[in-house]
Chain A
Amino acid sequence: MMSSKRFRGIFENLLFVWLGLSVVLLLGGQNLVLPNWLQIIGRSHPLLLHFPIVLILFGVLFQWIPGIDNNADLKNFGELSLLVGVNFAGLTVIAGLILAQEDYSGNTFDLHQYSGFGVFILGALFYFFRNLPKTYLKATSLVLAIGITFTGHWGANLTHGEDFLLAPILQEEVPTLAINDAQVFEDVVMPILETKCVGCHKEGKIKGKLRLDHITGIQTGGKTGPFVVAGNLDESLMVQRINLPLEHDDHMPPKNKAQLTDEEKKILVNWVLAGAEFDKKLIEMEPESEFFKLASLNFDESDNYNFEEADPSTVEELNNFFRKVEPLYPGSPALVVSYFGIAAFDPSSLNELDKIRTQVVQLNLNKMPLAGTDLSILQNFINLEELQASFTDLDSEQILSISQIPSLKDLSISGNKLSEKSLDYLSGMSDLRNLYLWETGLSDDQQKQLSSTLKYTNVEFGFDSKKVVYELNPPLLKSEKDMFGDSTLLEINHPIPSVEIRYTLDGSEPDSINSLKYEAPFWVKKTAEIKARAFADDWKGSPEASTLVFKAGNPPKELKLLTQPNAIYFGKGNLTLIDQIKGKPNHTSGEWLGYQDNHAEFVITLAENQKPKEITISLLYNEGAYIFPPTQVEIWQGDGSNWNKVIDEKPLQPKNIQPTRFEALTYGLPETDFDQIRVRLKRIASLPPWHPGAGSKGWVFLDEVSLLE
């Protein structure tokens, strides 16, 4: 027979074993990999836990028996009970920690876990320090008893559900959004009042003696009358007040406060019409009633899918770079399918989705070229709730197929031109929650009619561009070459493809009627300033855009500069003007000659048999950089000693600073015998008073001179 002391010794030692094991499990628990057989120990937790509760409470109770210290047997019995109880507590903790691997978490779980461990430690300490003065022990015993009680309570909450114990006496106030549980007043009407009305009609701030923060107040009404009268819109002050115009003094909510949305207004009004119910459940209301239809929109049914999950390998097979098939959220049987990549779209791939036709709840086909694709297969997708098929070239046949999808709630087919027939099919879809019809070519009347037919659908027609009139951006002119020998190809583009572009070749401003209409790139054969504007219905015509193309004539024998350009803008000297390279708009590009200190003057010696009829001088204007048109252009013909002045002109001077631009000044030459041409361009001697540099000398910039025969 084992002595009682030896028995105790074993149990005391065992306490340390449990302690060590439980500490390890507690610290490393999250990373535990469980062999199956250990799970059995874990699952014995709900059995084991009864022992420590009883034994420890029983052992602790002995501390309170008066005169216990004088009765050795009784005392021994109590201590033994405590020791065995604490050992069971250790075992229970270990089993519990193993069980915890099976997906437990949350606040209650943490409380239970740590308080359970605490009870075990405290119990052990209590046992080892059992000879301390009575007062300490009594206090500790109370703590221990309370600890055990709460640990047990939290544990019960974990297995039986939150507040299992107190449920019969607790008011359940967890808001629920499942449509089957929703209350007419609590969950539909009150939330509206709470956000928009209660702020001013509540205890401590009872405006108009009306309290809306509890049912009695709502049923009683305020200073001027009843808030609601069931079924009677005229006598319900709420209905009157919310329907007054915003500017009216009695309008509610007051003008400067957050207003009711149209939907909220409708719900409140229809609630009164339907009898201003306070106690009914939403599903008890007439399902065809306006109130039910409006109210039910706000309750999510999407999380109640009870169909079977698709085979994961099927789902994986259906996934590729251009089609994503994934669950609505991890673990949900509902699937979301999205197509990407217009170029890679294969219409027949829709048929592959037949394998998951029960599971697909959302399908995104936006922008896929669906023209001619048979969509009747979608009718088999019995749980499909959301279909996005914007900009997909749908025809009425396809709309018909879509309208027959049984569970469809949200449909976006923006960007598809709708025929009368399509519109008819859509009119029949009264179960839709949202319908998106932007850019579908519907007239205002058609829009109005559809909205009134689909009473319970939020139909979105989107941005109406006709009400906005902007100026178009100028078109972009691009010539193959700025300076050409024989001809150059000119292309005019606009970022908005549907605009009409009109242009002129003579420097006049293009208009939308008489000017040439741009169809395709065209060839330009002579020096010209091409101006273009873009026009479109519902837009203001664009500002004009222009470009200058420059025909290079035959090169002369020689060009000699009589005055020297500024040393900084010297280019390639005299060659600059006959190198047939058009300068860039930037005057510092090195392709320009710039004159400020003196006028530009040069002499051209013609090649043999060269008989030019025209001379063109290419210039740069940029008032911001002090570069102005020449104030005077003089041209002489001659043979080196005799000069005959044939041109003396004064180009038009600007009146303000304009953007940088090119200019080509062309002058006809009389058909007399000559072999030299002298040109003088006078730079502006004193900038005009409106210019920031008023009074100082301006510049003349030129880059090319060409002679045309």
Chain B
Amino acid sequence: MEKEILEHGLGMNRRKFLSRLSLGVGSAALGSLLIPDLFSGGKPNEDAIMDALPHFAPKAKRVIYLFQNGAPSQLESFDYKPLLRANMGMELPASIRGEQRLTGMTSGQDSFPLVGSYYDFEQYGQSRAWISSLFPHTASVVDDLCIVKSMHTEAINHDPALTFFQTGAQVGNRPSMGSWLSYGLGSENSNLPAFCVLLSRGKGNGQGVYSKLWSNGFLDATHQGVQFSNSEDPVLYLKDPESMSRAERRKMLDHLAEMNELNFNEFNDPEISAKVAQYEMAFRMQTAVPEITDVSKEPDSIVKLYGPECLVPGTYAANCLLARKLSENGVRFVQLYHQGWDQHGNLPNEMALQAKDVDQASAALITDLKQRGLLDETLVIWGGEFGRTNYCQGQIQADNYGRDHHPRAFSIWMAGGGVKSGIVYGETDEFGYNIVENPVHVHDFQATVLHLLGIDHEKLNFKHLGRRYRLTDVSGHVVKDILV
């Protein structure tokens, strides 16, 4: 009876409701006629890209990312913590450590003794930033740098952390940052790939880098990072095959393109045209690459700037020089990796060697871009995948100790390309363990880099397997405070 009263009150019962609802469903069907692809695909990607692009002149045109693989210690480089030295060997208070997940390498330790930097710090430049004595050249360009001391990440082991930094996800298969830029902005110089990768290795304890880090993921294969090696052929398979002349090669490619076009007309597979484009680019790279890798036209002073090591192919210094040459020739994203920063033990020794490898050349790159008038349009980034603990791993000695992985706070620096110069951003507590001011998550960092290139990180996405992916996944805020 209650039901009837209610129905009466509403002037409605189930039958009536359903019959009226059918009107609604009918109109839904009518509506769907207006939207041909309501139940199928989305907008074409070109439109999605256009949406993400700026309506103002972007500050940065190119990026050079000097990745310090293995995670350099922030406590021996840019995050000055005198308290750690004063309290050497004392226990890290549990209140500071909180619930932090530790790696298997120190989770078994029954003591977490604080350890201060073996190296002294001093303040430099107009920004009065603290920099350790391991990085004298970097200190000399400190007024061109924006040092971020409040980076934090989610991963605590190298591979996931590295993958997270490069692709926005801890598990592989997503496109790398350079691939996203190539996808969003295209190539500046159509004779070179938009995304190039250079590897070097220091003497310190190293961690691997894998090609998945510069993979195009689900994006078109043309956006993949191209690795330059330090052998006689910087780019593999670029030379004409033996006893084949350049003209013959041209003829062969023309015929191949014709055949591919026939195939394309039949199957409409975009991979076919991507392949043709790559053959063509490889052909043009045959002249473009030797022009770039040729160091002989560089003035002598370049060697003094980058240090004599830059003449030894495969070193970090040589890669920095090559990175500058690639970048000034319109390569959007040059990714360097320098391995050997994983100092679980023997930190004072190894860190000094590593710093010696990279200090001069990193600073030289800044100076070199600046003196050519290119620094304001090129964003240079220096940093690792996470930081290192403020407590000692293993046996603590006055001149020898190690540090484990630390995701909660670490330092990187950026320069040029629309980033404020001569500033230090973010702050950690006096133990250097937690961030107390202006935290910057990896996704915030990625959002900021995209922003500097004029890309809205929320809009640059790609639909794959039924969902839209972006570099910053589902989070990330542009760090406005560090923008010019």
Residues of A within 8 A of B (CB): 12-13, 16-21, 23-25, 28, 30-35, 38, 128-129, 131-132, 255-261, 302-303, 321-322, 324, 328-332, 334, 338, 340-344, 366, 388, 390-391, 410-412, 414-415, 434, 436, 438-439, 460-463, 465, 468, 470-473, 495-498, 536
Contact = CB atoms under 8 A, between A and B. Distances in A.
B255 interface: no
Which 4 residue pairs spanning A and B have beta carbons closest together?
A462-B371, A20-B24, A465-B301, A412-B373
B28 A436 contact: no
B373 A460 contact: yes
A495 B294 CA distance: 10
A415 B300 CA distance: 12
B129 to A, nearest CB: 8
B261 interface: no
Interface string B251-267: 00000000000000000
Contact of A321 (B26, B191, B311, B367): B191
Nearest to A131: B9
B23 A412 contact: no
Nearest to B20: A16
B278 interface: no
Interface string B116-128: 0000000101111
A91 to B, nearest CB: 13
A465 B34 contact: no
A471 B301 contact: no
Nearest to B26: A20
14 contacts: A20-B24, A24-B38, A256-B123, A259-B128, A321-B191, A324-B330, A329-B53, A329-B54, A329-B57, A330-B53, A340-B190, A341-B287, A462-B370, A468-B304
Contacts of A256: 123, 128
A259 B190 contact: no
A436 B376 CA distance: 12
Contacts of A366: 328, 372
B330 to A, nearest CB: 6
Contacts of A34: 34
Given A32-B35, A324-B190, A390-B372, A341 B53 contact: no
B11 A28 contact: no
Contacts of B109: none
Contact of B12 (A128, A321, A329, A460): A128
B287 A465 contact: no
Nearest to B305: A463
Contacts of B188: 324, 338
A21 B32 CA distance: 9
Contacts of B189: 324, 338, 340-341
B30 A21 contact: yes
A137 to B, nearest CB: 13
A25 B31 contact: yes
A19 B28 CA distance: 9
Contact of A415 (B53, B296, B299): B299
A463 B31 contact: no
Contacts of B54: 329-330
B329 interface: yes
B284 interface: yes
Chain A binding surface SS class? loop
Given A31-B42, A258-B127, A343-B287, A24 B31 contact: yes
A32 B43 CA distance: 10
A12 B19 CA distance: 12
Contacts of B304: 463, 465, 468, 470
B34 A32 contact: yes
Given A343-B291, A536-B300, A24 B329 contact: no
Contacts of A258: 126-128, 422-424
A439 B299 contact: yes
Nearest to B125: A259
Interface in B159-191: 188-191
A23 B21 CA distance: 13
A472 B43 CA distance: 59
B303 interface: yes
Contacts of A324: 188-190, 330
Contacts of A131: 9-10
A339 to B, nearest CB: 10
Contact of A30 (B43, B53, B58): B43
Contacts of A128: 10-12
Contacts of A13: 20, 23
Given A128-B10, A495-B295, 11 more contacts: A20-B28, A34-B34, A128-B11, A321-B284, A329-B58, A338-B189, A341-B191, A414-B372, A414-B373, A438-B371, A462-B371
B56 A329 contact: yes
Nearest to B143: A261
A187 to B, nearest CB: 14
The range of chain B's interface size is 35 or more
A304 to B, nearest CB: 11
B32 A28 contact: yes
Contact of B373 (A17, A261, A434): A434
A31 B328 contact: no
Centre residue among A35, A461, A463, A470 by max chain B CB count within 10 A: A463
Nearest to B31: A24
B126 A261 contact: yes
B476 interface: no
Contact of B454 (A329, A338, A473): A329
Contact of B43 (A31, A303, A341): A31
Contacts of B311: 473, 495-496
A472 B35 contact: no
B308 A388 contact: no
A303 B56 contact: yes
Contacts of B38: 24, 28, 31
Given A258-B128, A342-B291, A465-B305, A321 B190 contact: yes
Nearest to A390: B372
A246 to B, nearest CB: 10
B99 interface: no
Contacts of B12: 128
A21 B30 CA distance: 8
B307 A470 contact: yes
Contacts of B24: 16-17, 19-20, 23
Contacts of B288: 340-341
A438 B372 contact: yes
B8 to A, nearest CB: 9
Nearest to A262: B126
B50 interface: yes
B145 to A, nearest CB: 12
Contact of A21 (B20, B27, B329): B27
A28 B126 contact: no
Contact of A463 (B35, B37, B368): B368
B373 A388 contact: yes
B98 interface: no
Nearest to A321: B190
A8 to B, nearest CB: 9
B234 to A, nearest CB: 16
A329 B191 CA distance: 22
Given A258-B127, A258-B128, A470 B308 contact: yes
A669 B50 CA distance: 86
Contact of B57 (A302, A465, A468): A302
Contact of B27 (A17, A38, A414): A17
B36 interface: yes
B25 interface: yes
Interface in B287-332: 287-288, 291, 295-297, 299-301, 303-305, 307-308, 311, 328-330
Contacts of A28: 31-32, 35, 38
A31 B33 CA distance: 12
Nearest to A469: B304
Nearest to A434: B373
A473 B329 contact: no
A128 B296 CA distance: 84
Nearest to A386: B373
B126 A259 contact: yes
A549 to B, nearest CB: 24
